[in-house]
Structure formats: C-alpha cells, structure tokens
Structure 1
Amino acid sequence: MAALSEAVPVPAHVPPQAVYDFDMRHDPGLLANPHERVREMLREAPPVFWTPRNGGRWIAIGHPEIFQASRDTETFSSGLMPREQMAAMMAMMPKDMPRIPQATPITLDPPEHGKFRGPLQKTFSPRAAMNQIEEIRALCDELIDKVIDQGHCDFIPAIAEPLPVTVFLKMMGLPVERLPEFRQLVHEFLEGTASDNLMATAALSRKVADAMLPDILARKDDRRDDIISLLWGTEIDGEPMTLELMEDYAVLLFIAGLDTVINGMGFGIRHLAMNPDLQDKLRAQPALIVEAAEELLRRYSFTIPMRRVARDATLGGFDLKQGEWLALYIPGADLDPREFAEPERFDLERENKVHIAFGAGPHRCLGAHLARVELQVLYQQLLTRLPPFRLDPDAPATFHSGNIIAFDSLPIRWD
C-alpha cells in the first residue's frame, strides 16, 4: 500500500471545522472499498472540506455544492492556469521542446469551450451512438467467446478494456491491429495521471498525440468516414483546422473515451456479481436493463473533475481563495442523502434517478450517449451469454484512484 502524500500546513483562512484528512490517491479505505469510504466521508466531513494531502486542496462531496460549482465556470475554472499565464509560460518554453497538447475543449471555459466542443457534438449525438449498437454487440460477443469456456476471467483486461478501446479506434479511424499498443498506452497514461506530477502528465499527453500522429497526418488529404477526417474538415471562427488543434482533440478523445467507460463497466459488473437476485431479475426482464444501467451509474459514480478557484468565493459555507484547487467529488454527490433517499440502496423503482455521474454544467460529458449504449449492450450480452456469475472469492477486486476511482482488476467466476 502506497504511503499517504505528505500533509501541508493549513492556510490561515481555513477554519478547523473545514479540515478533513483525506488523500485522493492513497486513502486506504478508498482503495479497499471505494464507495463505502465515500459514504463514510459524507457522514464525517462537511459537504465541502479542505484536506492537507495532495498538496492541499478543497474537496466538494455534497450534491448541491458540486452542482453549483460545475455550473459557475467564471468562479471555478477548468483551465490549469489563467490564459495570460499559460500564454506567457508557453512563450518561455525552449523552441526545440516538443509541443505539449492541451486536452481541448475540456481545459477551456465558456465561451471558448462551446466553440471548440461544437464540432464534436454530432459525432457523439444519441443517433450516432444508437447507430453503433450492433457493432458493439458483436464486439461484446467476440470478447465473451474468448473466456466463456474458462468459467472465470479478470473482467477488466478481458472485456472492460478491449471493448471501448476497439470502439474508440474504429470511430477515430485508427488501425484496430494497434489495439495492444493502445491498451498499453491506456495503462501508462492512467499510471502517470495517478500522480500530481504535471511534467509527467505533459510528457504522456505528448506520447498519446505521437501515437496517433501518422494517422492524423494521413487523413489530412485522405478523408474517410471517421472522427479524424471530420475534424480536418472543420473550421473554427472561419479558420481552417490546424495540426496543433488536431493533437489537442486527439488527446482529449483518448483520455475521455477510454478511461471512464472501462470503470463504469467495472462497477456495474461488480454490483451484478454481488447480487445474483438482480441478475435473475434482469435476465427475466431485459427491458429493465436501461433503468438498471442508470441506477448503477448513480450508485457508483467515479469521476472527480478538478477546478481552479479563479476568484475568491464561498462554497459550502467556507471561503475559498483565488488560485486554490477544488476537486468535484462526484461519487459523493450521487450518494448524498440530502439528494437521494437511502442513497446506498440500489433501487430500480427509485423516483429520482437524475445522477450527475457524467458531470453537470457546460462540461457535462460529451460521450455520455455512447457510454450509455456501451454499458447497456454489455449488460445485455453478459446476462444473456453467461450463467450467473459471482466475484472470485480467492482474488478480490483491486483499485487505484486519482481523478477517477478506477479498477486494476475484477476477477469473476461462473459455473
């Protein structure tokens, strides 16, 4: 078990009642049973608290507080630093240094954010996602075929990873035979971003862009039916697409398109493996899978977006100062008893299922429709093809954490 990060001194403006000791990356309870630890925090800590770990930062775990901060982009910015500061820093970089791609548009605030998000909207529309159902179903079956006779598998590397990675490669127009290479890159990226080392993250962003660069360049003149070709044909503010912006988009799609769905699948299958009665119910009434998928997303939300406090503000009754960091701990929001009655209970008949697992406000996840389709099809195919499955009693699931509560492994068995 990794040691907790070093605690930093509490700033003068942070009152004692705002302080709660929590390490976003190495908290032992979080890594043992993530959402139980989140429920414990909701009982013990205020809805917004300051932790001395991870360099010192604010963490919002309450639903109304996260919802408010997500929508107030002028106060809580998605940019790593003010634009003028970023421009000055980039100007100081050595000319021969490789360019660091920015994950556009997720690191931008409105109004720029909407301008750069627009070109991707059609590709990730509900209709575009529905058009991929049969292809996703065939992929699911192909992966299940490889393990069904074994009676067991580690669900993460066997199915949860290759499924969205393959979908991503096909949508982008990247060669599917590079799947092993891209899966390795996913691992490397996740390991690198599970630290607070900005330089390591920047180097990994460059590596991701470089992996796609030959295909990005090839599509400039040889357009096909894929996202890279679509983006090359896009103008923003009347200006033609640039290679730099293409790299920025590619890095965003890589991070967003792979990491989130893998873990959504992991938490959903883990819950089903622990609840044979629910498996029976969904096998008997497959029409309920759509509802089940939404309630699973609420019960096990897993993303933690970061915001920079762009101006002094009050949130959850405490004063946050310009330049401080705020983590939007969405797993807490969707388990907040102020928002959901008996939030720990998985309830197919729940009246309020309006979770914020995909975020809220202008940065709400662009790929939410595709993620939903992938999750629903996965549950359908696993419940149809596999006999009742359970967690492997000899090999517990393992997790890591940072800006996502993520799986390392999820061994399951069936007879």
Structure 2
Amino acid sequence: MAVDERFNREPQQQGAEEELGTRNEIITGPVSDWTTDFSHLEPEWSADPYPIQDDLRQRCPIAHTERFGGAWLPTRYEDVAAIAYDTDHFSSRAIIMANFRPPLDLAPVGGSPPISSDPPFHHDARKLLLAAFTKKEVARQEAATRAFCHSLIDSFEGRDLVDAATDYAQHIPVRVIANMLGFPPEDGERFRVFVEDLLEGINLDPDDRAERVNRIFDYLLEQVHAHLDEPRDDLTTFLINAELYGQKLPPDVVTGAMALLLIAGIDTSWSAIGASLWHLAKTPSDRERLVAEPGLLPVAMEEFLRAYAPVTMARLVKQDMNWHGVDMKAEDWILLSFPAANRDPAQFDRAAEVVIDREVNRHAAFGLGIHRCLGSHLARMELRIALEVWLERIPAFTLADPGAVKWSSGQIRGPRKLPIRIG
C-alpha cells in the first residue's frame, strides 16, 4: 500500500468540523413579507422565483430576513455584481447559506477551495485547477460524453414517457465528473445522494448535517487511498501530487477541492440541462426552430443559461457597515442571486422573455468576480452535447404533465422530476 502521511487522519476529521460553526435557530415556514422575511427554501420560491424577484427589484431591491441569523438578498444586477467583486467587505468562506456559519479561522482557505477561498489564497488555489478546465482539456471529454448521451436515449426504446431529469439530465455530469476524477462510474447514485445532502439538506439539524458531510469526506478519502495505491492520469492523482507554495497540498485542501468538483460539477449541469429541456418541451416554436436550425444551439443555450441560471451563491459580511444605504452586520449572510441579476430589465432587453437568438448576452449564470465558475467550459460542453443528442434523437416531445414537474429547493435550482412525452 502506498504511504502518504497527509491522509492518515481519521475520516470524520476531514471536513465536518470545518462545516460547523456558529449555530443559528432553524427557521422555516410561510413567508409573511418577501421584503422583510424572504426564504429561498419555501415551495413558491422553488416552483417559480422570478415573479418574487421581479417584485422585490421594484419594491425593495435589497431584501432582508431574520431567518438563518440574518441575511440580505440583492436582486438588481448592479448590486449583485458589486458584491461579487468586493472581496474586501464580503467573504466566501461559506457559499451555502445554512442554519450555521463556519468558524472565522476557516478563511482564507475555506472548506472547498477555491470556491470557498478569499484572497490572497484564492488566486493561487484557482490557478492550480485552471489547467484541468481549459477548452482543450474539456474537448477530450466530448466524444465520451456524446456516446454516453446516445446510450441513455437508447435505453428509452419502446417508451413514450420518460423523466428527462432522472433518466437523462442527472446522469450526464455524474459520468463526466466521475471520469475526470477517476471515480467508479457505478458510484453515480452515491454522488446524487451527496448532492442532496450538501445542497438541499441545509435546514437539517447541524449534527445530522455533520454526519452527512462526514459521509462525503469518508468517500473522498477512500478514493484518495485507492489512487495512492494505484496512481492514474486523472484529477484526483493530480491533486494528491500538486504543490502550492513549495509543499504538497494539505489533506483538507485536497478533499475539499474534490468535494467542490464532485458536487458543483454535478448539480449545476444537471439543473441547466433539465431546465433547457423543460423550456423546449413547453415551447414548441423554440424546439421546432432548433431542430430546423441546429447551428443556432450555441446561442440558444446561452439564453437558457441566462433565463434559467441554476446557481445562487452566498457570501458573509466581514464587518458592520452601511452598504448602499443598508446597515449590514458582521456575519450577515448575502444571498447572491445570479438568476435575479440575469432578469434585471436594466441590464437585459426583454429580460423576462426567453429569446433563443439573443445576440448580446453577457449573463451571470457562471457568476461574477474572482469566483466566476472555473468549470464553465465543461458545463457548456455538457449542456451543448446533451441538447444536440436529444434534439437529434428526439425532435418531437412535450411535457407529459406540467403539474408533475418538480424543482429543487435551495441555491441550485433545476427540475428534479420532468415527465416528458416523446413523439
């Protein structure tokens, strides 16, 4: 067995203690007033957040809530962008708004670098990973991704009803990221559970959440040791061997980065693919046009990303301050809604409409500022291939039951149940 003393800590010490910090009261339930009591966990937000965001943008562009110990929700593009770029006043050490805050000493590294890192560490941690996500590297995954999409649709043979979320969209990023990290593809179901535990279980009791986080890091340590025994040409081996500041990466940085790639690499793309298919299933004119004009797809998918941006990130206020007329306190949450920014009419013409041939589209679906998604080339490839193959193989499809569509809750929004009738 290969020996690497960095990874000899007990698995339960690899991340859970970094997740837990100041515990806040668990607060859920109906919203009384979205300007003063907003909650991104309520069913009406999950089902359709856009009317709520549009109303807030008009009446109270930086909403507040006492839930989760105090949080703010900007809905204008200019405010979202300003906060995203302002690393002096806002910390990224926690990017999932939960019922507790991680300890202050977790900065500047954070639990899942580089997305949870602050300057100056962020720059170096991000630079370390950039080479793995260039267009050239992502192109190496394209043929296998296309073949896998075809195999998924092959499995539909003889069926006129499929779930485009559970039978198609969710499997694609799972397979791609498993290949990149060198994880067993048959572990895909475990990955989906990890996603739900980390991103949709945010209102759980902190002890329960810690147990679920431990399960993720236990699995990641298993994969590290498997790679130590049998090094491979993949991202996991790269992270194990990588050096920063002349030293090998600490275990929590290795496993934290692996957790980021695994969780973020799955849920965001799964959601984007599902939302795009949902739109095409309910909008026959757009579907028919893309079938007739496949060359329009790269432009159309940017519009799907703008209109149905899946990702909302969180920040923490560093110190008491008055920001743009709002009195923020240290450790207040900021819910940084890129979906709301993408539908700001001050930034986009016909912002509420889906215009599949929109020529100018500087959307924020991949974030803004230093934390702009380093996997954007990969996400675009997965979305493009998934839609190309689907439209080629299944040019005619509709929603089987619009009322049966179910969207995820929390900060990553996408269809989790999407019944589609083929033909």
TM above 0.5: yes
Contact 1:148 / 1:386 at 8 angstroms: preserved in 2?
A: no
What percentage of aligned pairs have identical amino acids? 32
Partner residue in 1 for 2:386: 378
Find the residue that maps to 2:408 and give its secondary structure. strand
Partner of 1:243: 251
Moved more, 314-323 or 325-334: 314-323
SS in 1 for 2:210: helix
Distance 1:153 1:163 in 2: 16
The whole-number CA distance in structure 2 between the counterparts of 1:58 and 1:200 is: 26
In structure 1, C-alpha distance between the alignment counterparts of 2:121 and 2:70, rounded to whole Å: 29
Does the C-alpha gap of structure 1 residues 316 and 392 become closer, same or farther in structure 2, counting only changes over 3 Å? farther
2:128 to 105, 119, 131: 119
Are residue 186 (structure 1) and residue 195 (structure 2) matched?
Answer: yes
In structure 2, the CA distance between the partners of 1:202 and 1:108, relative to structure 1 (3 Å rule), is farther
Separation in 1, partners of 2:173, 2:390 = 15
- For 2:335, what is the secondary structure of its paired residue? strand
Map 1:212-361 to 2 at 5 A: 212-220=220-228, 222-361=230-369
User: What amino acid is aligned across from residue 327 of structure 1 in structure 2?
Assistant: L
Name the SS of the counterpart of 2:407 in structure 1: strand
Which digits, 9 at most, give the CA deviation of each residue in 1:341-363, with x for residues without a partner?
A: 11011123434300011111111
Whether 1:5 and 2:28 are equivalent positions in the alignment is: yes
Q: Report the 3-state secondary structure (helix = DSSP H, G, I; strand = E; otherwise coil) of the residue aligned with 2:401.
A: coil
1:179 Cα deviation from its structure 2 partner? 2.3
State the Cα distance separating 1:367 from its structure 2 match: 1.0
Contact 1:156 1:408 in 2 (8 A): yes
Closer/same/farther in 2, CA of residues 154 and 8 from structure 1, 3 Å limit: closer
The worse-fitting range, judged by mean Cα deviation, of 236-245 and 155-164 is: 236-245
TM-score (structure 1 length as normaliser): 0.87
1:20 aligns with 2:28: no
For 1:244 and 1:57, locate their aligned partners in 2 and report how far apart those are by CA, in whole Å: 28
Question: Quick one: which amino acid aligns to residue 161 of structure 2?
Answer: H
Distance 2:355 2:153 in 1: 28
CA distance in 2, matches of 1:348, 1:6: 37
> Aligned to 2:256, what secondary structure does the other structure show?
helix
Match 2:166 to one of 148, 157, 161:
157
Q: Which residue of 29, 37, 51 maps to 2:44?
A: 29
Distance change >3 Å, CA 8–CA 33, structure 1 → 2: closer
2:87 corresponds to? 73
For the aligned residues, what is the CA RMSD? 2.6
Q: Give, in angstroms, the shift of residue 105 of structure 1.
A: 1.9
Q: 2:53 aligns with which of 38, 44, 58?
A: 38
Aligned 8 A contact 2:300 2:357 in 1: no
* Equivalent pair of 1:48/1:315 in contact (CA under 8 Å): no
Give the deviation of 1:8 after TM superposition: 11
C-alpha distance after superposition, 1:31-51 (max 9, x if no partner): 3323344334334x3221112
Q: Within the alignment, does 1:61 sit opposite 2:75 as a pair?
A: yes
8 A Cα contact 1:7 1:56, kept in partner = no
Asked whether the 8 Å contact 1:168–1:257 carries over to 2, the reply is yes
Q: In the alignment, is the contact (CA less than 8 A) between 2:396 and 2:422 conserved in 1? A: yes
Aligned length: 390
The alignment partner of 1:150 has SS state of coil
Choose the corresponding residue for 2:154, options 145, 148, 154: 145
Q: Is the CA contact 1:395–1:411 (under 8 Å) kept in the aligned structure 2?
A: no
| Letter of the structure 2 residue corresponding to residue 5 of structure 1 | T
Letter in 1 for 2:48: N
* Counterpart Cα distance in 2 of 1:310 and 1:395: 43
Is the CA contact (8 Å cut-off) linking 2:315 and 2:333 kept in structure 1?
yes
Compute the displacement of 1:340 (Å).
0.7
- Contact 1:25 1:400 (8 Å CA) reproduced: no
Range with bigger deviation, 245-254 or 101-110: 101-110
Give the corresponding residue for 2:217: 209
TM-score if structure 2 supplies the norm length? 0.85
Tell me the alpha carbon deviations over residues 222-281 of structure 1, each in whole angstroms, 9 at most, x when there is no partner. 321110111122111001233332211121112211111111111111111111111111
Cα distance change of structure 1 residues 39 and 396 upon mapping to structure 2, 3 Å threshold: farther
Task: Quote the Cα distance in structure 2 between the aligned partners of 1:21 and 1:315.
Answer: 20
CA shift for structure 1 position 382: 0.6
Q: What stretches of structure 1 of length at least 5 have no aligned partner? A: 10-15, 88-100
Amino acid in structure 2 at the alignment position of 1:247: T
Secondary structure of 2:201's aligned partner: helix
Quick check: 389-398 or 155-164, which moved more?
389-398
Give, as a single letter, the amino acid of the residue that structure 2 aligns with 1:114: H
Alpha-carbon deviation of 1:409? 0.8
Q: Distance in 2 between matches of 1:201 and 1:124?
A: 31
The alignment status of 1:173 with 2:182, answered yes or no, reads yes
Unaligned runs of 5+ in 2: 1-25, 95-100
* Distance of 1:132 and 1:150 partners within structure 2: 29
Q: Tell me how far 1:169 sits from its aligned partner.
A: 0.8
Query: Cα offset for 1:84?
Result: 5.5
**Which residue of 2 is the match for residue 12 of structure 1?**
none
> Does the 8 A contact of 2:275 with 2:414 survive in 1?
no
Contact in 2 for aligned 1:7/1:53 (Cα 8 Å): no
Provide the rounded CA distance (Å) in 2 between the counterparts of 1:333 and 1:198. Answer: 31
